[in-house]
Amino acid sequence: MSLSRNLENNRIVSKPEIVSKAGMTGKDGKSFRLATRIATAFAAVLMAAGMALIGAGGMAFTGVAGTLALTVSAAETSGADALKYPDRTILSGISISGVDVSGMTETEALTAVTDSVETQKQSVITLKGKEEGQEVAVTAGNLGLKFLNEEVIDEAGQYGHGTNVIARYKEEKDLEKNGAEITGATDLDRNMVLAVLSEQCAAFNQEAVNCSLSRASGTFEIIDGKTGYVVNDDESADKITETLTGGSWDGKDTSIDLDIDVDEPQGDAETLSKVKDLLGTYTTSYPNSGSNRCNNIANGCSLINGKTLYPGEQLSVLNTITPFTEENGYYLAGSYLGSQVVESFGGGICQVSTTLYNAVIRAELQIDERYNHSLIVSYVEPSMDAAIAESSGMDFKFTNNQDYPVYIEGYTAGKSITFNVYGVETRDPGRTVEFESETLETIEPEGEEIYTDSTQPVGYISVTSAHTGYKARLWKIVKQDGEQVSKDVFNNSTYNAAPTSATVGTAGTVSEALQAAIDSKSIDSVKAALSGDTGQAAADTVTTAAQEIAQEAYAAALAAGSDETAAMAAAQQAAQQYVAAQTQAAGTTAGATGTSSDTTGAAQ
């Protein structure tokens, strides 16, 4: 018989050797039957011995068809049922995560530790930031404090209970002299810890403010920066876990200083004092713009003015000047929406981005993102514009590709806007940069377009003139001492052609004649229909009023004693007088008022 161990199943298996009939000694098979009886008897002995061991060592024997298996039972339950020796007494001097379990059975120790953890969950843990008064108070339960496992209870019970007498004696003496503290009974939920740090301690973070410049009356002033502080969530989570589960915590209220990373500001006075050279400048004007558009340009310019960009730093114009709201200083003014001119908050802001674009390209900073308008604009040549649109995300972005900081100055004066880019001039004094617009194709608009607006009343019409379409490109020309050394295509632009269009109000009753005119896409037909509707509506109003006046005159005449014939004559006379008066009034005011307007050019 041989004894083999099945490690995968944690099982010791005793197998009787089976001798095949081909290998029997003796023709009658007596040797085979004898071997079988011996194996069966031996298995019975082992079975009996194994049954006697159940409960003492946590083992069980099973035998099936001549095979005897010894299986080590695995703990599949939690709590006291999972303890190997629940009634074993723990020696004096042993503590588990701060709980003295001396003289307790393992079951009692398990209860004491779990109860202690439940109590500790209510303890207040104060997390502190860098500055005085930066504190967040949470409970240990908010951090996911939990009892980890029962193995530490078994570990405590093993002290002084080993089979080696000398080792047991040494452990007992060590306990008498030093005691023993077993850690690892508790743990925190890291996700809960990180959530507390990111959600409740984010207020501790203080963004660094770089040293910067301001310019007034032609003089630069250096503004000191400010150091920033940021909570290091991962390292702080490690520190909190170690403090509360590493064995030093007494389970009571405590405070923990979080790990804070220092974010030093960029720049210094020495570097910024060198920023004084004008690298690029550009000015555009808007002499025909209304007050709202002028205010929008001034507001957008002020939001960009004073920006200091360090080497490698990018500026997004869209992020800098938005949102386009009344609260952010913007007014309603004309702007492009596809091929239409519409009223929107911030109308005219594209002249701000366009003027800045032309200053930036002359400073030769890096252009990261730029879009042309859908329709041509009048304040710069084709392909020199830079459109901005919050709804579609159209942006103008550029990066300081210089070795020194640059300063953006913007201001408005009268009806013009100027941007200057200052920095440290490193280009050769004889080097100049020019930009030249070239129109590649002209696209003439065709027909007319009618748009309806349900927010405007019937009778309203606003006409926008046609826009010619273009395909264009911009050349960058570099000269050295007056001689051209390079000419490269800098960008390409396509502007849509847009026919003359009219926006017609439809709030109210739209007559059949007006609807037919709208469908015909003829502006003259719409104007004619509106004129007819207005005249008919006025006549209907006068007729209704005249009827009411006649009825009142008739009733008054009867009340005064007149007969029906005389009363009817009085009614007719009153109605005629009213109609005559209204006709005269209409003739006096004819042509003095109107509901139509013409937009001859959209100033963006």
Look at strands 135-139 and 99-100 and give their pairing. unpaired
Indicate the length of the chain as a whole number.
604
Q: In angstroms, what CA-CA distances link 299 with 197, 417, 488, 519?
A: 39, 11, 35, 41
Edge-to-edge strand list for the sheet holding 135-139: 135-139, 124-128, 254-257
Residue 527: band (very low, low, confident or very high) from pLDDT cuts 50, 70, 90: very high
Predicted confidence at residue 564, as pLDDT, reads 77
The pLDDT assigned to 161 comes to 83
* Selected residue with higher pLDDT from 581 and 387: 387
* CA–centroid distance for 293 within its chain: 31
Which of these, 394, 158, 362, lies nearest to 277 by C-alpha position? 362
Residues in contact with 129: Cβ distance below 8 Å, sequence separation at least 6, in sequence order: 135, 201, 204, 229, 231, 258, 260
Tokens of 368: 């990261």
Q: Please check whether residue 507 is in contact with residue 540, taking contact to mean a CB–CB distance below 8 angstroms.
A: no
Q: What pLDDT sits at residue 91?
A: 92
Q: Is the pLDDT of residue 310 over 50?
A: yes
User: Does 277 have pLDDT greater than 50?
Assistant: yes
Least confident of 11-15, 21-25, 63-67, 367-371: 11-15
Structure tokens at 387: 């459109």
Q: How confident is the model at residue 541 (pLDDT cuts 50, 70, 90)?
A: low
Which of 252-256, 269-273, 453-457, 532-536 has the lowest average pLDDT? 532-536
Contacts of 603 (CB under 8 A, 6+ apart): 286, 288, 289, 293, 334, 348, 351, 377, 378, 379
| pLDDT tier, 281 (very low <50, low <70, confident <90, very high otherwise) | very high
**pLDDT at residue number 558:** 76
Place of tokens 């308008």: 373
Q: What is the reported pLDDT for 339? A: 65
Residue 49 pLDDT > 50, yes or no?
A: no
pLDDT at 535: 53
Instruction: Give pLDDT, residue 59.
Output: 35
Which of 77-81, 216-220, 400-404, 501-505 shows the lowest mean pLDDT across its residues? Answer: 77-81
Which stretches of 305-348 are DSSP H helices?
A: 317-321
**What's residue 104's pLDDT?**
95
Higher pLDDT, residue 125 or 6: 125
**What average pLDDT does the structure give for the chain?**
82
Distance CA 53, CA 473 (A): 95
Among the residue ranges 291-295, 317-321, 395-399, 579-583, the one predicted with the least confidence is 579-583
Residue 381 has pLDDT above 60, yes or no: yes
Question: 482 or 551: whose pLDDT is higher?
Answer: 482
This prediction's pTM: 0.64
Over range 571-587, report the average pLDDT: 73
User: Would you call 165 helix, strand, or coil by DSSP?
Assistant: helix
* Res. 8: pLDDT tops 50: no
pLDDT-wise least confident of 24-38, 142-156, 471-485, 534-548:
24-38
With H, G, I as helix, E, B as strand and everything else as coil, classify residue 556: helix
Q: Is the pLDDT at 517 greater than 60, yes or no?
A: yes
The pLDDT of residue 254 is above 90: yes
The model's confidence at residue 446, banded by pLDDT at 50, 70 and 90, is very high
In the chain, the percentage of residues whose pLDDT exceeds 70 is 81
pLDDT band, very low/low/confident/very high, at 334 (cuts 50, 70, 90): confident
pLDDT of residue 23: 39
Q: Is the pLDDT of residue 311 over 60?
A: yes
Average pLDDT score over residue span 108-120: 92
Q: What is the pLDDT of residues 201-239, one digit of tens each?
A: 999 999 999 999 999 999 999 999 999 999 999 999 999
Q: Does the pLDDT of residue 551 top 60, yes or no?
A: yes
- Pairwise CA distance, residues 183 & 189, whole Å: 17
**Distance (Å, whole) CA 32 – CA 14:** 19
For strands 94-96 and 180-182, give the pairing: parallel
pLDDT given at position 60:
36
CB 116 within 8 A of CB 152: no
- Going by their DSSP bridges, the two strands 448-457 and 500-507 should be labelled as parallel
**pLDDT value of position 315:** 98
How does residue 580 score in pLDDT terms, banded at 50, 70 and 90? confident
Check residues 584 and 511 and name the one with the higher pLDDT: 511
The tokens describing 302, both together, are 């002020």
DSSP 429: T
